[in-house]
A and B are shown apart, each in its own frame.
Chain A
Amino acid sequence: MKRLWRWLIPLAALPVLALLAYGFRVSPRDIPSPLLGRPAPGWALTTLEGAPLSLGAHRGKVVVLNFWASWCYPACYEEAPVLERNWRGYRDRGVVVVGVDIQDKQEAAEKFVRDLGLTFPIARDLKGTVSVDYGVYGVPETFFLDRQGRIRVKHVGAVTDDVFRATVDRLLAEAGSP
């Protein structure tokens, strides 16, 4: 009996240690999106210049939907040139980059676009409805949509050339009418 007790107490600590070992290894920021594989929610917004812009206008293309804000430093400033570069490189191959500016001021957003020389279409989500529709919880977040309009990849944090090319090339290689 005494011998059993001597072993029981350290044994009881084992599950707790195992739980802690697991808990400290996973990042609490990695929250899987329930939207993966599902049709991307449609939206119709206006651009920074006030022109209408909708997701439906790009049906049949691979869409890179990037949520950003001018106050999101440094990640948004790091990825903007990557998005611009790849938008120029892929636009003739059935790929479109669309920016969605969230929780931002018009002047600050205009300055961001001007300073970084962005030419891809950018919409403003003034009421936050599109952000919530996509389950966005911070910036930058980027969604890669396949030609069928399904959300296939969600990337949290700045997009790099490697991530952009690998993901878009994979989605382009899939069968589907361009």
Chain B
Amino acid sequence: MSRARVRFAASLLLLGATVSALTAQPAKPVSEEIVHEVAAQLRCVVCQNLSVADSPSEMASQMRAIIRERLAAGESPADVQRYFVDRYGEWILLAPPRRGFNLLVWLLPFVAVGVGLAITAALVWRWTRRRRGVRPPPPAVDPAMSERIRREVQSGR
């Protein structure tokens, strides 16, 4: 086969593959709920602390359209998320995935609360115990004074 023929055959094959790929996956209807769900987990790249679902910016609206398109082409929500992580890094995710070094972010608040509670409990226990233990003995009362108090209470003064 000549080189031109090979090229022609290859392009025919490629065309066939493209057509079959297009017909095999007809655009399926995508609910806005799923689009929102995916968008809510992605950081709007031009905003401060806003998700793609919440931002009114043009960039976010284009990203929502891309999410919709990819879902319609048959990708799963996880696939779409992977696509964005692939391009932007894990930074694009509003919540860091719970594995590896990121676990620290998820666990540290609970550890801190636990340690704080333990320290508070220990201190409260120590303070109350000291007060109970160091209670001074009742002061000695002068018998003459107590006699005088008794008399004055009785006389009603």
Contact = CB atoms under 8 A, between A and B. Distances in A.
Contact of A31 (B59, B62, B86, B91): B91
B89 A34 contact: yes
B59 A103 contact: yes
A33 B85 CA distance: 10
A134 B87 contact: yes
Interface string B54-86: 000011001101100000000000000000111
A89 interface: no
B62 A132 contact: yes
Interface of B: 45-46, 58-59, 62-63, 65-66, 84-89, 91
A interface majority secondary structure: loop
A34 B87 contact: yes
A33 B89 CA distance: 7
A138 interface: yes
Contacts of B63: 128, 132
Given A137-B45, A137-B46, A138-B45, A128 B87 contact: no
Contacts of A133: 87
Contacts of A137: 45-46, 88
Contact of B89 (A128, A131, A135, A138): A135
30 contacts: A31-B88, A31-B89, A31-B91, A34-B86, A34-B87, A34-B88, A103-B59, A103-B62, A127-B62, A127-B65, A127-B66, A128-B58, A128-B59, A128-B62, A128-B63, A128-B65, A129-B62, A131-B59, A131-B62, A132-B84, A132-B87, A133-B87, A135-B87, A135-B88, A135-B89, A136-B45, A137-B45, A137-B88, A138-B45, A138-B46
A129 B87 contact: no
